[in-house]
Structure 1
Amino acid sequence: MSAAETTVPNPPSIAGEQYARRRRADHFRRLLVVGLTLLAVLGVAFFLTWDLPSAWKFALKLRVSTVAGLVIVGVAIGASTVVFQTITANKILTPALMGFDSLYLLIQTVIVYWLGSMFFSTVPSAAMFLVNTVTMVGFSLLLFGTVFAGGRTSIDLLLLIGIVTGVFFRSLSALLQRMLDPGEYQVLQDVFFATFSVVDKKLLPWAGLVTVVCVGIFLYRRRQLDVLLLGRDTAVSLGVNHRREVITALVLCSVLVSVSTSLVGPVTFFGLLVANLAYLLVRSDRHGWTIPVASALGVVFLVVGQWVLGRLFSFDTSLSVIIEFAGGLLFLYLLLSKKGLGR
């Protein structure tokens, strides 16, 4: 037997196989992002043009305002939830645990209690949007400044204080609501749930600008966010200023949640749905993939859900109620199965 016949072929390089596998996975994720983005665009186009009445110009203006609000909220909640779960290293938490929803309800309750329900119809919507957003962002900055004072970076303490303050805000809201006139309380109930069908078009440019800036910063600093997934000690050893990155990400998350809540109302579990589905599809925690996928899924779910709600259910129920129900079930599943605890 010749030497050529007895030569054993060189085994393929393990590093080369891993590199090729990673290339194939990234190619799939790139196609996923493009596909979901196209699906979101098609969903928006379908929502705008489906069954237009004879007075199509008026109807189209209303639909443009509605769909723009849906896009802003979907992107803001999807991106902020992914980043918030990175900071807390837990996939069953949402920024709502910081007490934003409870504070929003308290603000509306205090306004009705002191100024009456007629105040909502007299004050400009831009002023209410500014009051809600500034108050919630100011509360988050005060909370972060208190918890992170003296060089501390305790996420667990931050979550605990956020949960306690949320319970306090809800208790105070319930106390004031019991002292309201029944007619005033009926008006107040309209703001307890998110409303996607009626969005003030005057608020959309500002809300959209803030959302684009915050999500753009997330994507620009996606590598620093990826390092945060490795834990504080590893991130510090790799040269990342862990405290600065955490505080910056938390402030941006609070801005996004405040804007979306001020625009349409409180939505607690929607981010939980889109973020966990994004992890399932992407099969990676890299923010260059998870943030775009979660944002695109948020837009698709809201646009398609609003269309189905109008065409099949004739708006007999609210989209936020369906979202909270589905999100609550997912939350219980992740909690009981312990799949969302840690990474």
Structure 2
Amino acid sequence: MAERRLLWLGLALLALCGAFLAWQLRAPMGFILGLRAAKLGALVCVGAATGAATILFQTVAGNRLLTPGLVGFDALFVLLQTLLVAALGGVGVAMIPASVRFGVELVALAAASALLFGLLLRRDARDVTRMILTGIILGVLLRGLAEMVQRMMDPSDYAVVQQAMFASFGRVDPQQLAVAAVVLLAALAAALRMAPALDVAGLGRETARGLGLNHDRVVMVSLLLMAAMVSVSTALVGPITFLGLLTASLARQVTGTHRHAVLIPASAIIGALILVAGQFVFERLLGSQSALAVIVELFGGLLFLVLVLKRRRR
């Protein structure tokens, strides 16, 4: 049953992607298709990366209210953008090749996450809660540093930083998209290979160790895979904090299973569906240029509050 629902989700995504590309297509078709394909690729990559990363993060953390954005990836991204603009100015940043800028952001985010996980979990993976709390505190610190630097900027430079603070799917470079897709596919393949181990890890550390699983290794590898996915997503379009919470919750409701071999691809497909459907409605049906990320964050934040209040009642 769960596999059948996963198949239907995949077919729905394919149909929606076809509609996104072909809706009211006019000449010059090649040029328009190229632009739409790049935007569609970014939507699918970001949705899939965020959805799959959230399932991994919630499993190792043992908490379905958490998202990778809480560890401070978005704050680090904003700080990097702020420091670049402060050092080079808005014009200087615009002159940096897009591939170089993407590579620097991707390496910085991945290195910071590896450093955080390596330092805090170098002995064992028992205290994941401490790692999460440290990430939250670092996120607050990084946001404070970014705001301090932003207050000293010229209004024109600050406008450049402000534009980078919100996820945008309209400025995706095809070369960046290709690199992001390769990294994402490799991380997804590795995560799916670990699916049986993740099923056992979700039972808790002591139970998993009692069943013969090297729980600490599974946690560390899962966190590194999650970091790779989130780094790719954030460096590609910018930060989206609550999308993962939406996708993971919907994946569990739709599939009705706890098996990661189904949950990981289901959450990835649902994440892509949310973004592609939202962008399709805004651009094609409403003719609006509203920021999709703002709407996703709104509904994701509301879902977070609902889940917290629901857990308190229990």
TM-score, with normalisation over the residues of structure 2? 0.97
Task: Quote the offset at 1:153 in angstroms.
Answer: 3.0
Are 1:337 and 2:276 counterparts?
no
Residue in structure 2 matched with residue 211 of structure 1 by the alignment: 184
- 2:245 corresponds to: 272
Sequence identity of aligned pairs in percent?
40
**Cα contact 1:112–1:188 (8 A) shared by 2:** yes
Residues 73 and 139, structure 2, Cα contact 8 Å, conserved in 1: yes
Aligned to 1:46: 19
Contact 1:90 1:340 survives alignment (8 Å): no
Q: Is the 8 A contact 1:79 1:295 kept in 2?
A: yes
Corresponding position: 1:309 with 2:260: no
Q: Separation in 1 of the partners of 2:114 and 2:312?
A: 31
Give the AA of the match of 1:170.
R
1:122 CA drift (Å): 0.8
Q: Which residue in 2 is equivalent to 1:327?
A: 300
Q: Is the contact made by 2:49 and 2:229 (CA closer than 8 Å) also made in structure 1?
A: yes
Secondary structure of 1:91's match? coil
The answer to whether the 8 A contact 1:270-1:324 is kept is: yes
Match of 1:71 in 2: 44
Offset, 1:157: 0.5
TM-aligned CA deviation for residue 149 of structure 1: 2.7
Deviation at 1:198, TM superposition (A): 2.6
Distance 1:302 1:151, change over 3 A: closer
The C-alpha deviation readout for 1:67-94, integer Å capped at 9, x for no partner, is 0111111111110001100011111100
User: Which amino acid in structure 1 is aligned with residue 88 of structure 2?
Assistant: L
Alignment of 1:1-343 (within 5 A): 28-151=1-124, 153-338=126-311
Please list the CA deviations of residues 165-190 of structure 1 after superposition, one character each: whole Å capped at 9, or x if unmatched. Answer: 00000000000000000111112111
Instruction: Give per-residue Cα distances to partners, 1:237-275, cap 9 Å, x unaligned.
Output: 111111111000001100100000000100000010011
After TM superposition, give the deviation of residue 340 of structure 1 in Å: 11
> Structure 2 CA distance, aligned partners of 1:314 and 1:325?
21
Number of residue equivalences: 314
Q: 1:182-222 CA deviation, whole Å, 9 max, x = no partner?
A: 11111211101000133111111111011001011111110
294-303 or 220-229, larger mean C-alpha shift: 294-303
What are the superposed Cα offsets for residues 105-134 of structure 1, whole Å, 9 maximum, x if unpaired? Answer: 000000011111112321111111111111
Q: Name the CA distance, whole Å, in 2 between partners of 1:173 and 1:274.
A: 29
Work out whether residues 102 and 167 of structure 1, in 8 Å CA contact, stay in contact via their aligned partners in 2.
Answer: yes
Q: Match for 2:50: what amino acid? A: I
Separation of aligned partners in 2, 1:254 and 1:298: 17
Which amino acid in 2 is paired with 1:274?
T
Shift of 1:339: 7.8
CA-CA distance at 1:144 after TM superposition: 1.1
Aligned residues: CA RMSD? 1.4
Unmatched tracts of structure 2, length 5 or more: none
| Cα distance between partner residues in 1 of 2:313 and 2:264 | 18
Whether contact under 8 Å (1:91, 1:340) holds in the other structure is no
Unaligned 5+ segments in structure 1 are 1-27
Contact 1:82–1:294 (CA under 8 A) maintained in structure 2 = yes
Q: Which segments of structure 1 move beyond 6 Å, counting only runs of 4 or more?
A: none
- Over residues 122-159 of structure 1, what are the superposed CA-to-partner deviations in whole Å (9 max), with x where a residue is unaligned? 11111111111111111111111211133453101101
AA partner of residue 36 (structure 1): L
Name which one, 1 or 2, has greater alpha-carbon Rg.
Answer: 1
Distance 1:79 1:320, change over 3 A: same
